[in-house]
Each structure stands twice: as C-alpha cells, then as structure tokens.
Amino acid sequence: MNTKRISMFAGTVCGIALAGTAVAGMNGLSYDLTEQVGAGAVAGTYTVRVYADMDSGDRLDAVYGNSENQINVSYLDGASAYQDALGGATSQSINDAYFAFAPSMEWDSYVTIGNLYSGDNALQNIGMDWTSWDPDGGDLYSANGTWFVTPADAQGEAVGGRVLVAQFTTYAGSGEYDISFTAGFQGKDSSGETWQAGHTVMITGEAVPAPGAIALLGLAGLAGRRRRRA
C-alpha cells in the first residue's frame, strides 16, 4: 500500500479557553493519500486518512462539535462520500476479519480516534446523527456531538506525532478541493493539562493515481527501458 502525506492546509480556526484548560497540544490536521489495493478497490474514488498532528507527549481524547467549533465534513463542487453497505460511521463497525469476503469495506468512510479497525477499540460517540453522511453519502454536521475515548485508552496517544481521526473515500468533484473537514479537538498535554482547539483541513485527491495506475506506470517505464535498449 502506497501513501503520500499532505499538509497543504492545516490551520487553527479558533480555540476555546475554558477555566482550568490550556490551548495547546495540537498543531493542525494533515492527511495521507492512501492507494486502494486488492479486490475491494472502488472505481472512481480515492482514499485519505486524516490525522491530528500533536506535540510530543500529548494525546487526543475527543473530536467534538459545539457552538464555537462545529463538526463539519462538507463535500464540495459535486464531490461525494463513498459509504460501503457493510461498513459504518465509526471504526467500531470496521472489522478487518470481514475483508476477505467483503473487501470494499476496507475503503469505507468513517471516523475514529487512533484505531483503524474495530479490534481492541474503545471508541464511543454521543449526540451524533450520522444519517446524512452514513449511509446517504452527504455532508456530516454536528454542533452538540462527539466521538471520543477516555484518557485511560492508549489509542488516543500519538504515534509518530499523529493520531488518526478519520478515513474518507471520495468521488471527486470539479473544484480545487473535494472535502472541507472542521471540528473541535480535546486532549491532554505531556503535563496532564487539558487543551481544546478547533482545526480545519481542505482535502483533494488530485495527486492520487487511480487504482492500478501505479502498475501501468511501472509497465510504461519497463517498455521505455526496452525501447532504449533496442
């Protein structure tokens, strides 16, 4: 599986300063363009995995929406979500043991904290209405919902300075960007102080080869070498 990391727009929209909390601990959002491989590759789509970029020793406990930092996954200029019929809105619904007979489930669109799949996964959610996004494939919005883990759950800890928060598989639109993802984020810094902040990332898949294109490029290169040898 090939991935390409993108940090093309990852800025803080606004922070929440609450009594006893510090605004720190998260530097923004980035994403990896992830090549779909295997029998489950979904024609006409591309997949990205979105990460919270963290300071050393910090962790992420919640992705939330409120009056100041709404959760908003918006599809732009005709783009739309791929939602697998056997998948679900969160990583709790993605059991990788099923991929052998439901291979396209691997490329479902869903949210998470830390874990890509359901195994050893403590993710919970409250107040989220997933219906318009999963299964309908439209936008996701919440001003009073959250997906979260507890501070005792290891999956909130950064790995290589990052914590996974979503996988999006998308039919591209006609504009420069296909997805705008905004949310509030909460965690703890290395000293145990709570931080909260809002962040946005703009996502495009224009740099991702279609499934099988990498193999075709390899064949083209081989043919070129053969012609030169001739």
Q: What is the pLDDT of residue 1?
A: 60
| pLDDT tens, position by position, 176-199 | 999 999 999 999 999 999 999 999
Q: Where are the domains of the chain?
A: 3-229
Is the confidence at residue 11, as pLDDT, over 60? no
25: left (phi over 0), alpha (psi -120 to 50) or beta: left
Q: How would you class 201 by CB atoms within 10 Å of its CB: exposed for 0-12, middle for 13-18, buried for 19 or more?
A: buried
Residue 15: the pLDDT is 31
The torsion of the CA quartet 65, 69, 73, 75, rounded to 10 degrees, works out to: 150
Per-residue model confidence (pLDDT) at position 213: 47
pLDDT: is 25 or 16 the higher one? 25
Mean pLDDT, the chain, whole residue set: 85
Q: How does DSSP classify residue 213?
A: H
- Asked if residue 215 has pLDDT above 60, the reply is no
CA-CA distance, 64 to 194, in Å (whole number)?
14
DSSP 147-210: EE--TT-GGGB-BTTEEEEEEEEEE--SSS-SEEEEEEEEEE-TTS-EEEEEEEEEE--TTSPP
Tell me the mean pLDDT in the region 45-71. Answer: 96
User: Which of 23-27, 206-210, 211-215, 225-229 has the lowest average pLDDT?
Assistant: 225-229
Confidence of residue 56 (pLDDT cuts 50, 70, 90): confident
Mean pLDDT of 91-96: 98
Q: Report percent pLDDT > 90 for the chain.
A: 76
**Strand locations in 55-153 (E):** 59-64, 71-75, 80-81, 110-111, 124-126, 140-142, 146-148
| pLDDT tens digits, 96-136 | 999 999 999 999 999 999 999 999 999 999 999 999 999 99
User: Is there a contact between 65 and 183 (Cβ–Cβ < 8 Å)?
Assistant: yes
Instruction: Locate 213 and state its tokens.
Output: 């294109």
- Give me the amino acid identity at 160: G
Q: What is the pLDDT of residue 220?
A: 40
Residues 6+ apart with CB under 8 A from 100: none
